[in-house]
Amino acid sequence: MTASRLSPEELDEIRKIRERLRLGIESFSREGLLFKLAFIFLNTYAVLFIATSTLFPDLVFLSGDLAILKDDYEQLLRARTLVALIAIIFLNIAYFFRVGFQLAILFTLVMTTYYSIDMYVMYGEFIRKTENIFVGFFFLARPLVIASLVYLLIRKSDGLFR
């Protein structure tokens, strides 16, 4: 076995981090079915949104109605994708390391609500006309995303709303 280049204090800190992560994973397995479904849905939605808008941005603007918006909305979509990626990473890290989960949910809830209202007001007319399945799914699933976030926030509020 090779000699470790880490000091005993560093090794102790790594053990503490591993223990916190283990506790986070164990606590997820003890959560209720609705909590697990909401958490998994949020992660799945985020991965699909990020993958679609990053890997296949042209599919979003495939429809004739949305092709008009391509130049304006594409830049906005890239920025929002980056923010969504940061939010979902922060949300998962906060849950599994058991630090700041309510703050992560609140940030994601505010961001998602703002983006949803903005998208509806500015691009709602075009989105309602489109037959693009990707745009329709992401637009119609937003209320479910917001409801999932509210449920997670209430469930993990520790008396904040009771």
59-76 confidence digits (pLDDT tens): 665 555 555 666 667 777
**Burial class, 16, CB count within 10 angstroms (exposed 0-12 / middle 13-18 / buried 19+):** exposed
Residue 130 has what pLDDT?
A: 63
Find the mean pLDDT for residues 140-156.
Answer: 89
**In sequence order, what are the residues at sequence separation of 6 or more whose Cβ sits closer than 8 angstroms to the Cβ of residue 31?**
39
Find the mean pLDDT for residues 53-57.
Answer: 75
Residue 159 has what pLDDT?
A: 46
Pair of tokens at residue 54: 């990053």
Eight-state DSSP code of residue 157 = S
Q: How confident is the model at residue 95 (pLDDT cuts 50, 70, 90)?
A: confident
Pair of tokens at residue 6: 């880490």
Alpha-carbon span 128 to 111, nearest angstrom: 22
Residue 86 has what pLDDT?
A: 92
Cβ–Cβ under 8 Å, residues 104 and 97: no
Task: Domain ranges for the chain, please list them.
Answer: 32-155
What's the chain's average pLDDT?
Answer: 79
Question: pTM here?
Answer: 0.73
Cβ–Cβ under 8 Å, residues 155 and 95: no
**To 5 degrees, how large is the angle CA 36–CA 102–CA 148?**
40
**Burial class, 38, CB count within 10 angstroms (exposed 0-12 / middle 13-18 / buried 19+):** buried
Residue 72 has what pLDDT?
A: 67
